[in-house]
Structure 1
Amino acid sequence: MVDVAGESEVIQAARRAREAAADLAVRTRGEKDRALHAIADALAADAPRILEANAEDVARAREAGTDSGIVDRLTLTADRITAIAEALRKVTTLADPVGEVVRGSTLPNGLELRQVRVPLGVVGIIYEARPNVTVDAAGLCLKSGNAVLLRGSSSARASNAALVEIMREALAGCGLPVDAIQLVPGDTHDSVKELMQARGLVDVLIPRGGAALISSVVTGSTVPVIETGVGNCHVYVDADADVDLAVELLIDSKAQRPSVCNAAETVLVHRDIAEAFLPRALAALAAAGVTVHGDEQVSGYSADVVPATEADYYKEYVSLDIAAAVVDSLDAAIAHIREYSTNHTESIITRSQAAARTFTARVDSAAVIVNASTRFTDGGEFGFGAEIGISNQKLHARGPMGLPELTSTKYIVVGDGQTKARHSSAL
């Protein structure tokens, strides 16, 4: 992986991406949208080529005994390719954040000051077996003026190679730099490590996948990382909850799609409503195929409850399992969430405005929801049109990351001869 000049293929790719990013940063919305339409059309037209490559990956995964849920995420179909292309077309309808004036003013010395959005530059995406992410990430980065380095898992190697080749061909046909979209060379972990250490060439890394992947990137990278994805999400059923609504929202939060990061993993129940709520909730969860891991009080309502361990309350199950506990008060629920949450999404079900205000003020997560399913924490559901991931951290982005979160800002200062010596009161 090393050329005669001594630089690895990963570093060479990063340098090409940096050149492409400089070109892409000044392209107009029209140019970028035309390229997105061209990519969407090319993906639809070349569906057989994509499906052939994907079939290789799927066959290899099945031979290796890969979990059926992962195989499903890896699998592409004609309908899924159509949906991926349509998602790109929807991105073209979104406002271009580049050039947006965040704030501006004329200073007392006459200087005109504007803070404007600019692309981040080179964005690295490290992700697991989801070839749709290859296109989604490339499309969002292109729209926001960023070059992207894509490092998918080896399980999707053939699919990702085909998708990126088609996207690059479309970029070339539109006169945009093809190196704005690149696969990171190499299949070993060494190439991932090189990407994580390419500080100065790569501006930010976004890992998408399980907790182990995200932790590895966060702890091993010298490139700034936006931490995404791990969702130990809570539903708290308050003493003043409507029981019918609480059961409905709990089932939707947990069972509607359990493998995603905004699915509920723990339900907390106020002691005063436990008698009315838990028998119905446990029956509904059992009917939905959910295994409940409960404390002693929850276990008292059903013999089917599995005794919970301390580890259960920290767990992101991404399966038809949920932890459950009875709490003595709203304060106790908030304390539990502070201890065990990954700060993704927490929901309170209550008819009390005071309880809702307290919960939303004191729970420190990326999304805090009142009387609705945790499943709404999503860029599309929030009206952003699309997302690159959901950030649990506080810098530089938090919650669902749409196009604006793929930008930074710079200040443009315009004067007519002002000097510090004559036009400033500062020392």
Structure 2
Amino acid sequence: MAKQTSTILLKAPTIVNEGQVYSSDVLMVDGVIERIAPEIAHPTATEINAEGLHLLPGLIDDQVHFREPGLTHKADIWHESRAAVAGGTTSFMEMPNTVPNTLTQQLLQAKYDIAATQSLANYSFYMGAANDNLDEVLRTNPREVCGIKVFMGSSTGNMLVDNEHTLEGIFANSPMLIATHCEDEATIRKNLQLYKAMHGDDLTVDMHPLIRSAEACYISSSRAVTLAKRHGTRLHILHISTAKETNLFDSGTPLAAKRITAEACIHHLWFSDADYAEKGNFIKWNPAVKTMQDRAGILQAVLDGRIDVIATDHAPHTLAEKSQPYLQAPSGGPLVQHALQALLDMHHDGKLTLEQLVQKTAHNTATCFQLDRRGFVREGYWADLVLVDLNKPYTVSKENILSKCGWSPFEGHTFQSTITHTFVSGNLVYDHGAVLESGSGHRLLFNR
């Protein structure tokens, strides 16, 4: 990677950081925030007039599926990292259910090698757990890898971990954070058989949250919490989709001291089962989008601290794949390009403050994963920053979608805010609709 050499001075943005909103200049030198002060002058800096814009720490997405290697007909690191920075996401952590599954240290390193030349955003990759690779899992370097991913529910390939002895071994011995997908496979299979008995193969997507039910989620999430408490594991439960699950988590403990944390995703905060009639398979995710009451409960848990992080579970499929009948259509969809704009709409609607948005998408993610010098607007930290115009509308269309799959569940929606600039490790990589090839993202490091 080329050495950073740029010097950029942001003039008079409104900074949102660590619970405060204030105006100040920001000087970036060689990829790092060198100075934050009301009036900064620099003889050689490239100046950007940011008056009237809000400056946020770039989003850190702790759950994406960029599909490389093996599934690059639907997504790849090159396309999805560009969609990310266009959406103000400056760092991502990518999942191991690629092809082949990321179940060895060699396969894990191969993904890092791809990202080193292809990713415009900063990157990390989870090591995957299976029923038969505990030795490989335990070789993972906590300083250089975001975490261990355990599918305690449906997955692809060899990644469903349902062996009790293996789960105990992972939870007892993991050298770092374990991130879990929690849906009880036995419950889902029972529900699917029940609905097939009633409807044959003529199932419809509105049945998805009944087949992949709230009960299936709670059984698995509560089991993960029990395992983590037994072994003192650092557990992070992904994409909470039910109000009931939120009661498994603690709001009173300071985040840095928590051993069990949780994540909510954009789609579970935005959509409900009432949207299946219009959106169909395009909002088919695992875990499923559920009721309006579940959506409200998840938002409340985000606000009161039981849920710590907001992410996307960005998981593209092709338009043709998603256009199949319900049972054949895969779960997942692209979200990383529009996550920040969706949250800014929620801010405009009075559902969360800008300070809360920044806390849940940047500060808390950095704290949960013990990221090295990222996630905050601080002197000495990497300059991962995004400028937004809160009052400039932006309509999603096929022409401005950057994910390789070429569609979005937000297509046709007009957001109230627009992302104007994104900086990754001090490089300006997105400027008023244009993605700039100005260097590559950095491998994320962790203070463990």
Larger Rg: 1
Interval containing the TM-score (normalised by the shorter chain): under 0.3
User: Which structure is higher in helix share?
Assistant: 1
